[in-house]
Structure 1
């Protein structure tokens, strides 16, 4: 099960929901489960594997984006006829129906009454795009018919915001389904798949984003340079094509937001510099165009919005970054190299990655370090720390990599820290002097505020540091997810 390292807990969760149906624990015999996750994260494969192993009748319907609703229903009925559900002969001759209400009731008619079954609607948001009435229809048929059968109804979607809204207050399916999120593989799971030590596994996570399809291409113990040389020699490699497919699904038509995403992916983080780079010639993109684009990207969970953490509110000094590590890497290095790779010149792209790797990685690792520390804390040393972020003024000078605080904005700053993530450069006295100086700029910090350091390559100085963290210690934050 190489592509499903770390998915045992997710499979166990699906099995628990099926057991709930099998044991008849609720006032309804059926249970609905809303499963969401980023594109290419393995939702469909996980559910397929679950269905294959469940040893109960099941049907899986995979929606097609942009499909005419009539043809979608016809394919849905065909999937039922070809499934392992009993009594599918009831649908003999029924090739099309005029409404989803009829199609779903036809499904209910062939579901068994005396044994559990599984029904999967994959990419439900696309089905709703094709017929907006489906959302309400699904609720009605669920309440009146489907939930009275011992069925586990799994509704899958990659549009994270839409899947969250489906169960929101005021929507038809509110409180009618359990929710499950399938996350990318964690750094620890990537380490298991690649067989790499902690420091190199973090590198692999930055490149693959924890997407199983890409991770399983990484040969055990293979170096980053060897992996990239091999993958970029193949125009059809998952490393290359996953980015194109993800963004084609998110942006089926040309949108301003897609261009803004590329600008952020190239390294621009502040509103003003994004506007300047996204505009035409010497004319910045006006706020009236940029703000909606940024909202769209944030709603799609493609862009994360960071604010400086201190005792002073920092909403006015927002910084933007590509939220998904794989897309961050793809946009920075691969998007503009596709033509070269297709000409058989992947070596040129691999060399470009190597030239820019150290600088790009130094910033890309920071959110991973912050999340790792947030998972490790609070602990005995930092019992009050609930938030881990960074700090910067409007001028971006100085930038402080790590701030630990009780909340955001902080009432109390617990520590200030620095990240030095270099191949052969340990955290040294010069780095400590810079941290000591810059820490005093953070609102809420003073000369008595504890200092911490994170280093990929060790430490040559520890006096003056309250705590130090290396790759192995950070990796422990993710060990519970394996």
Structure 2
């Protein structure tokens, strides 16, 4: 299957490689840290970049919990088998320290031509060597950076990858950082051969994970895809969420219970999450606050607050931020037992019954991101923040609020999301939006009104702008 998406990321990598080839840097080499959650496509991005570059390279894949001596010999053997012009020099060398292994790498890199080095899952390599980050820093400063090399350091442990570049860490200031996220809806549409609402369904269900999206064959409907993926417990849709969670959170941890409460049961407030995540004993508020903060730092959970001219931290709502886990926690994890027992048909029926209601809420953050991306070319280019608004009693709820900041000084527009294909936004719904807008703190009486609906807008509905599903897909082009 052809490589799809990642146009921006590939362009960035080629830009750095071009600088190395032109010799326009004081340091001949360039290091890049590429971090992203497991199975998001870091290795495939690096592999595609290397293929297109057509230069000598080495791609080393570290193993988790591997004995340090084994890692060193694996690194040596990978270098010796690479396309680096001096690779044969590594064959008879026996590194006993990480520094020695990096010296072997430096020995094999050409001095007069560019090359590429990929170290995949860097945190797994460094965890076996106390002070390993310092050894990497010394190797880079003393030898590797003096070569015309592009060093790509990949990692799924987001917190460790971020910490490696903190100001108090050895590698601070030595690498450019790139965060690799899930495929966006436009890329998923291209990969799955879908459009409009079907493309957003494909994005919601696959989570933008390349391995899962590749299982969606062109011409498949959502129902076709679900039936095929739920047939057994080894399909990408079933396995993907398990692998992500297993790599970061213990199955019995409070974090997993909190994620199940938010993603699996749909709880959104602090109190409801606290009750739903409780096991035998109640969860102290301090423990839950700490856990939610950690999940937010890891970009698994998002904290949403009403967007207006007033702060409303007490009205905070929680949701799953990682697109790879939204659908999995809601529909796959609760039915793993049936899937393992070969009764994917039961899981399929339950998913179909609940999908429409779930989609109505799950699509909202995706729509808000799309609208935010479209605002520079809209009548309100000053709308730097796009969110939603609700009062303590949740009545009324405004799906879209476009403002200059959080909290807002200027509110440019309010809007409604009606994610349906059979009926456009009606005049009555538009009038209700106008009436509800008066409740938003700071919204002017003549605030603009917008709508998002795959079916468009009925004649006579007084909205200033309407976006369809196909319009939203263009936001990621």
- The verdict on a shared fold, with TM-score over 0.5 as the criterion, is yes
Residue 301 of structure 1 aligns to a residue in which SS? coil
- How far apart in 2 are the matches of 1:252 and 1:49? 33
Contact 1:168–1:174 under 8 Å retained in 2 = yes
Pair 167,458 (structure 1): closer, same or farther in 2 beyond 3 Å = same
Match of 2:145 among 144, 147, 151: 147
The offset of 1:69, in angstroms, is 2.6
Pair 161,395 (structure 1): closer, same or farther in 2 beyond 3 Å = farther
Q: Which residue does the alignment assign to 2:164?
A: 166
Pair 75,400 (structure 1): closer, same or farther in 2 beyond 3 Å = same
- How far apart in 2 are the matches of 1:228 and 1:474? 24
Q: Which residue does the alignment assign to 1:32?
A: 31
| Deviates further, 247-256 or 34-43 | 247-256
Q: Which residue does the alignment assign to 2:475?
A: 477
The offset of 1:109, in angstroms, is 1.6
1:409-428 to structure 2, matched below 5 A, reads 409-428=407-426
The offset of 1:44, in angstroms, is 0.4
- How far apart in 2 are the matches of 1:252 and 1:106? 37
Contact 2:35–2:156 under 8 Å retained in 1 = yes
Pair 132,398 (structure 1): closer, same or farther in 2 beyond 3 Å = farther
Contact 2:20–2:149 under 8 Å retained in 1 = yes
Contact 1:58–1:83 under 8 Å retained in 2 = yes
- Point out where structure 2 has 5 or more consecutive residues left out of the alignment: none
The offset of 1:446, in angstroms, is 4.7
| Deviates further, 172-181 or 5-14 | 5-14
Pair 392,132 (structure 1): closer, same or farther in 2 beyond 3 Å = farther
Alpha-carbon RMSD across the aligned residues, in angstroms, is 2.0
The offset of 1:9, in angstroms, is 4.1
Contact 1:358–1:422 under 8 Å retained in 2 = no
Q: Which residue does the alignment assign to 1:313?
A: 311
Residue 84 of structure 2 aligns to a residue in which SS? coil
Structure 1 runs of 4+ with >4 Å offset: none
Q: Which residue does the alignment assign to 2:294?
A: 296
CA deviations on 1:381-428 (whole Å, 9 max, x unpaired) are: 213321110012233232221111111100121111111112424322
Q: Which residue does the alignment assign to 1:71?
A: 70
TM-score w.r.t. length of structure 1: 0.93
How many residues were matched structurally?
476
The offset of 1:289, in angstroms, is 1.4
- How far apart in 2 are the matches of 1:204 and 1:442? 33
Contact 2:76–2:91 under 8 Å retained in 1 = no
- Point out where structure 1 has 5 or more consecutive residues left out of the alignment: none
The offset of 1:351, in angstroms, is 1.2
Contact 1:159–1:300 under 8 Å retained in 2 = no
The offset of 1:252, in angstroms, is 5.2
- How far apart in 2 are the matches of 1:360 and 1:26? 51
Residue 440 of structure 2 aligns to a residue in which SS? coil
The offset of 1:284, in angstroms, is 3.8
Residue 378 of structure 1 aligns to a residue in which SS? helix
**2:260 aligned with 1:262:** yes
Q: Which residue does the alignment assign to 2:154?
A: 156
- How far apart in 2 are the matches of 1:384 and 1:11? 29
Match of 2:192 among 166, 191, 194: 194
Pair 412,10 (structure 1): closer, same or farther in 2 beyond 3 Å = closer
Contact 1:114–1:150 under 8 Å retained in 2 = yes
Q: Which residue does the alignment assign to 1:178?
A: 176
Q: Which residue does the alignment assign to 2:84?
A: 85
Residue 110 of structure 2 aligns to a residue in which SS? coil
Contact 2:182–2:324 under 8 Å retained in 1 = no
| Deviates further, 46-55 or 345-354 | 46-55
Q: Which residue does the alignment assign to 1:113?
A: 111
Residue 384 of structure 1 aligns to a residue in which SS? coil
Contact 1:382–1:414 under 8 Å retained in 2 = yes
Q: Which residue does the alignment assign to 2:13?
A: 14
Contact 1:256–1:293 under 8 Å retained in 2 = yes
Residue 186 of structure 2 aligns to a residue in which SS? helix
